[in-house]
């Protein structure tokens, strides 16, 4: 009661500021579960473009989508804005999933520094993927439409038919590097409704000019 009276005695602008602060404290924003926020991503730094798209292309389409029947895997959808740590659900940092290779712990730690410096950024992606497969970049409106077509009981046949042949949507984080771009970390999430939306971190190193997976679910496939 006394607290309410004290608030009422404050100017209206002060009461609104306090109310907004309390809302943030007691009602935190929910994670987006793999979909980027509506905010437009920043341009990718030019010096990172070639290596970033080489890594993205290496990971496409992901183990889950590769295993799907051909009729469900005719073309790929890739979100045109990267996800930040805030968009991941659960928001697990790379060191929460991966261990540094025993022979190159220092490089892994240096990449983690880049992750810490850039983990809240979102980067705009373009059609620079080097894959031998039809694909399309999806903006936030198309992502929402796709999700609705796959999950809503009210989705009509036209909505569902529009996305026939897509196994789902691939979300990437930006690629995080060490200083000379010979080691990298990246997050990938393949979303396809209710059964394949868990994200995964990958650690890669450049050997002989080529990127090679060192940690992550695919690393054993290349060893």
Contact 35, 189 (CB under 8 A): no
Contact 150, 192 (CB under 8 A): yes
Helix %, strand %, coil % of the chain (to 5): 40, 20, 40
Domain boundaries, the chain: 1-30, 32-222
Q: What is the largest distance, in Å, between two alpha-carbon atoms of the chain?
A: 71
Lowest mean pLDDT among 18-22, 196-200, 212-216: 18-22
Confidence of residue 40 (pLDDT cuts 50, 70, 90): confident
| Residue-level pLDDT at 175 | 98
Does 156 or 38 have the greater pLDDT score? 156
| Residue-level pLDDT at 66 | 83
Alpha-carbon dihedral 188, 27, 112, 78, rounded to 10 degrees: 20
Does 31 or 50 have the greater pLDDT score? 50
Does residue 131 have a pLDDT over 60? yes
d(CA 189, CA 81): 13
Average pLDDT over residues 179-189: 97
């Amino acid at each position: 009661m006394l607290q309410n009276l004290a608030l009422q005695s404050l100017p209206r602008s002060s009461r609104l500021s306090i109310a907004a602060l309390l809302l943030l404290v007691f009602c935190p924003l929910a994670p987006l579960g793999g979909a980027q926020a509506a905010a437009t991503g920043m341009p990718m730094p030019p010096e990172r473009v070639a290596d970033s798209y080489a890594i993205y292309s290496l990971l496409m389409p992901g183990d889950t989508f590769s295993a799907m029947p051909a009729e469900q895997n005719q073309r790929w959808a890739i979100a045109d804005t990267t996800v930040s740590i805030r968009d991941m659900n659960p928001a697990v940092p790379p060191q929460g999933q991966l261990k540094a290779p025993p022979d190159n712990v220092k490089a892994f730690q240096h990449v983690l520094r880049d992750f810490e410096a850039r983990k809240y950024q979102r980067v705009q992606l373009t059609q620079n993927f080097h894959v031998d497969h039809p694909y399309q970049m999806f903006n936030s409106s198309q992502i929402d439409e796709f999700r609705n077509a796959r999950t809503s009981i009210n989705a009509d046949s036209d909505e569902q038919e529009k996305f026939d042949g897509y196994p789902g949507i691939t979300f990437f984080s930006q690629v995080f590097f060490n200083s000379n771009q010979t080691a990298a970390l990246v997050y990938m999430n393949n979303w396809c409704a209710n059964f394949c939306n868990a994200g995964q971190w990958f650690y890669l190193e450049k050997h002989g000019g080529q990127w090679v997976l060192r940690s992550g679910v695919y690393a054993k496939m290349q060893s």
